[in-house]
Amino acid sequence: MAPHADDGQSSVPQGPATTTRNEPQYDDYIQWEVLPPGGPLNRWSHVVTRGHDYPGAQAMLYAAGVPNEDMMKNAPQVGIATVWWEGNPCNTHLLELGTLVKKAVQKENMLAWQFNTVGVSDAITMGGEGMRYSLQTREIIADSIETVTCAQRHDANISIPGCDKNMPGVVMAAARHNRPFLMIYGGTIRKGHSSLLDKEINISTCYEAAGAYSYGRLKSTNPKCANATQDEIMTDIEKHACPGAGACGGMYTANTMATAIEAMGLTLPGSSSFPATSPEKFRECERAASAIRTCMERDIRPRDLLSRAAFENALVLTMVLGGSTNGILHFLAMANTADVPLTLDDVQRTSNRTPFLADLAPSGKFYMEDLYAVGGTPAVLKYLIAANLIDGSIPTVTGLTLAENVASWPSLDPHQQILRPLSNPVKPSGHLQILRGNLAPGGAVAKITGKEGLSFTGKARVFHKEPALTAALSSGSISRDAGNLVLIVRYEGPKGGPGMPEQLKASAAIMGAGLTNVALVTDGRYSGASHGFIVGHVVPESAVGGPIALVKDGDTVTIDAVGNRIDVVGVEGGGDVDAEMEKRRKEWTPPKMRPMRGVLGKYARLVGDASHGAVTDLGDSAW
């Protein structure tokens, strides 16, 4: 194993039974006294359990459940962090999974301590003010797990996330504490079914149906139910889209992050494609204990695994599977936290060389449950390693390489229809494109599968915040007969939102309404379930005076996914674009930040821009 760029060690004498090693430091983080590898596994916790240096700590630990003096002095302590809470199917079962892990850890003669952190349901908050709290939960999750792991001096951590912000949050925490770590994905939800539509449905169906409802286009496609009303169809969809526990079932952000993190070597094989309630998921929880012991014995740490090659694997798999734009934001944040150089230019280079192969929702027809049935993520990785698109030599939490992990797994079912052959891709390059231009000089992320074309030019129609666009769509005031429109939603960035809310309600409504003459541009985000001609993460954002704040109704905007440009090419009333934009800049005044206090006020003051991952712990350097 290569030397760690992690714990600088204390030089304080530790007594005859304790030694420390001096390792290269990652000085931006707090340093911890730790035993050298190759000896006892209670490398961090020994500080409070040795001798009688911390009698109060030992008294509390006995009260918490340490069974005897031998376990107190010698057993490593493993934190099991679940992003558990009731009220969201992505997370509601995670406490049960955590209990399985705890029992397995205890069988390995280690101490297991369960704790949890918070989440926000994107689907429940979508389109409302609650969505502003979603992205910042990634930071809260990272802060929470770092806090407990470090303060309690745990020797290892197993994290069990379910929804999309959960996964980058637990990985960011791992990069900070750098103790042996692995992730268990909570798993995907099963597919829903609507009898009135006579087809499989999922959470995205709800939002697209809402758009069809607003424009009077929602009809039953089941001949036996031809007379069903729009309200009856909506109720049927709402009741049956989410049949139980698990994260949203398409290649939305949760499954994007889970598959990518598996490709980085941070999970056991198959973790990202095992359904939430499957026997395989329960067996994975039981296997995690021996895996974390392997990590501890071999001193395999997160920063060993969070390499440049691992992030490139994550990007490649995301492009192949048609993953979410949010993945780019999270990869940048994870890499930033782990001190791995990764930029938007790296994303574009990966997109240029990687074909889009998967027929998965939201732009395709299959779901993660279908991929699981034909071999799951390990089969896909095995295929891509053989094709030299994925680096199979990277180390993983099992102690084996990624290629060794999947070598014994079945290959992709030869009759499967989900992943196309390399000779016949959906698109020869990636569906995620990095755009720059006079509208987004700091970059923007576009999701363009090619099904909607590769360029778009239209007249701008500007909305201050998402509710204004939602109201326009709900009233049917955006017409298919109005020519090409570029709908610009601004003041929804990390600072301006605040919180960079997802805008699935609007993007899905446009798809449901059949508004093929529309492109969407925002300094906010789109859900992984969004599809169509969409551009998000515009930098600089409008709240800090980015060019997106200066666009007016009637300006002409061009989006070019071949030249990777997004530009205002004409201004309302004619005239020179540069001169007019400069005039508008001088007239622009920044809006007053709202709210000023509470968690969103604090977030808005701390958060950096989307092109650097929208992290909160870099201060002014984030800009």
Q: Which residues contact 27 (CB under 8 A, 6 or more apart)?
A: 8
What distance in Å separates the CA atoms of residue 101 and residue 495, rounded to the nearest whole number? 38
Q: In which residue are the tokens 């053989």 written?
A: 386
**Which positions ≥6 away from 321 have C-beta within 8 Å?**
251, 256, 259, 357, 358, 360, 380
Contact 526/158 with Cβ under 8 angstroms? no
Buried b / exposed e over 553-576, threshold 16 CB at 10 Å, is eebbbbbbbeebbbbbebbeeeee
Q: What is the three-class DSSP state of 232? A: helix
Question: Which residues are CB-neighbours of 317 under 8 A, at least 6 positions away?
Answer: 259, 260, 263, 323, 380, 381, 384, 390
Task: Residue 42: name the closest of 68, 16, 63, 18 by CA.
Answer: 18
What residue type is assigned to position 105 of the chain?
V
**Whether the Cβ atoms of residue 298 and residue 577 lie closer than 8 Å to each other:** no
Which of 363, 527, 542, 611 is the catalytic position? 527
| Strands 181-183 vs 565-570: parallel, antiparallel or unpaired | unpaired
For tokens 């001169």, the residue is 579
Of 330, 347, 332, 340, nearest in space to 168 by CA: 330
CA distance linking residue 381 with residue 328, whole number of Å: 20
CA 315 to chain centre: 12
d(CA 110, CA 72): 10
> What 8-state DSSP symbol labels residue 17?
T
The Cα 284–Cα 160 span in angstroms is: 11
Active site residue 527: yes
Could you tell me the two tokens for 343? 């930029």
Which stretches of 9-72 are assigned E, i.e. beta strand? Answer: none
Distances (CA, A) of 440 to 71, 135, 367, 543, 547: 57, 21, 33, 14, 7
DSSP state of 360: B
How far apart, in whole angstroms, are the C-alpha atoms of residue 116 and residue 80? 8
Q: Give, in order, the Cα–Cα distances in Å from 597 to each of 135, 255, 487, 542.
A: 17, 34, 31, 21
Question: Which residues, in sequence order, are CB contacts of 69 under 8 Å at separation 6+?
Answer: none
Residues annotated as part of the active site? 527
